Structure 1
């Protein structure tokens, strides 16, 4: 956690750079961009792509409709997490399938793709059929 980014106050209320979640959700996109880290701020200042704009609109429509159970499907792993996304579930594509990511306030200022890994850890088994004799050797220690 970088200094002053986010923290929970004494009463357990979330704050992001001195603003609580309700204040952040009432701010315009440009005002929120000033609070974000440099890379995410640059993304917003240069203008969101048409796909990112569509995703933002879907998130705003989901707030109006109140359908929090249905995840918003997206391939946009490079979309900065904005205050409008908090409390919603996104189905982020990891290269093989769509995996659910529930957005919490602490995720503000990160990207959607950071919370859904694209690589799995490697678990090696024993040598298979047709392996050479030297590769079949498994040390005792």
Structure 2
């Protein structure tokens, strides 16, 4: 599976803190948690909530099935991405709609919500006649 995931760095194989993707997936949860950044490590050591544990079980069961192409729908933007999520597709809620996020190896150690923003850029139109009090005095010539 690791040969499938290559980075753009001169064809080098993916490595997360010195471990290949296969090694990460074979590690038990405690060893993986020790490699995560501080904030995600704290989230995992304090214990996952019931919703987060349900999502983790769904991901583990989906990995065994591997026949469905439907994404796993979730509102949990604060779920740390673990090596067992690589290759799965999640539909993450951004406050308005569910957006697809396909988990790549480079995403390990981040949160699901980091890959789909909740705020969109504002593109204001041009103010028309009647939009403001001052536009009342615009000459019509």
- TM-score tier by shorter-chain length is 0.7 to 0.9
Pairs aligned (count): 132
Q: TM-score, normalising length from structure 1?
A: 0.85
- Asked if structure 1 preserves the Cα contact closer than 8 Å seen for 2:130 and 2:136, the reply is no
Q: CA shift at 1:68, angstroms?
A: 5.2
Q: TM-score, normalising length from structure 2?
A: 0.85
- Say if 1:61 and 1:123 are closer, same or farther in 2 by CA, change over 3 A: same
- Asked if structure 2 preserves the Cα contact closer than 8 Å seen for 1:25 and 1:84, the reply is yes
> Following the alignment from structure 1 to structure 2, what is the Cα–Cα distance between the partners of residues 126 and 66?
50
- Say if 1:132 and 1:58 are closer, same or farther in 2 by CA, change over 3 A: same
Following superposition of structure 1 onto structure 2, how do residues 1-141 of structure 1 map, counting pairs within 5 Å? 11-67=11-67, 69-128=69-128, 130-134=130-134
Structure 2: runs of 5+ lacking an equivalent: 1-6
Shifted more, 60-69 versus 50-59: the winner is 60-69
Rg (Cα) greater in structure:
2
> Following the alignment from structure 1 to structure 2, what is the Cα–Cα distance between the partners of residues 127 and 37?
47
- Say if 1:15 and 1:113 are closer, same or farther in 2 by CA, change over 3 A: same
- Asked if structure 1 preserves the Cα contact closer than 8 Å seen for 2:129 and 2:136, the reply is no
Structure 1: runs of 5+ lacking an equivalent: 1-6
